[in-house]
Amino acid sequence: PSCLLLQFLSYLHACDRLLKQGYEEGQVEEAMEMFQYSEKKAAEFLHLLAQFHDMGFQQNEIKEVLLLCGNQREKALEELVMK
């Protein structure tokens, strides 16, 4: 049980750090789940999601493309532009 508690606390700290960067709670939780609770991958995803959204792309398309491209910015941007 202590191992699970440590994992949970680690998850909460990671979510808290991402929330402090200005991401929405729902997006943080979704990103953490999508990337098996990897804070680094979730942070990359959230950063690119915000960046592409600011460029005018639709959020659902961005999510799909980022997942398909494994968070590779250039490849994802290419896919978004081609849609």
Domain 1-82 CATH (choose: 3.30.300.20, 3.90.1150.10, 1.20.120.1920, 3.40.50.150): 1.20.120.1920
3-state secondary structure 12-51: HHHHHHHHHCCCCHHHHHHHHHHCCCCHHHHHHHHHHHHH
pTM of the predicted protein model: 0.90
**Residue 19: which pLDDT band, with cuts at 50, 70 and 90?**
very high
Region 6-17 average pLDDT = 94
Mean pLDDT (the chain, rounded):
95
Statement: residue 43 has pLDDT above 90 = yes
What is the spatial distance between Cα 29 and Cα 37, in angstroms, rounded to a whole number? 9
Region 2-31 average pLDDT = 94
CB < 8 Å & 24+ apart, contacts of 72-77: 73/48, 76/48, 76/52, 77/52
Region 51-71 average pLDDT = 96
Statement: residue 1 has pLDDT above 70 = no
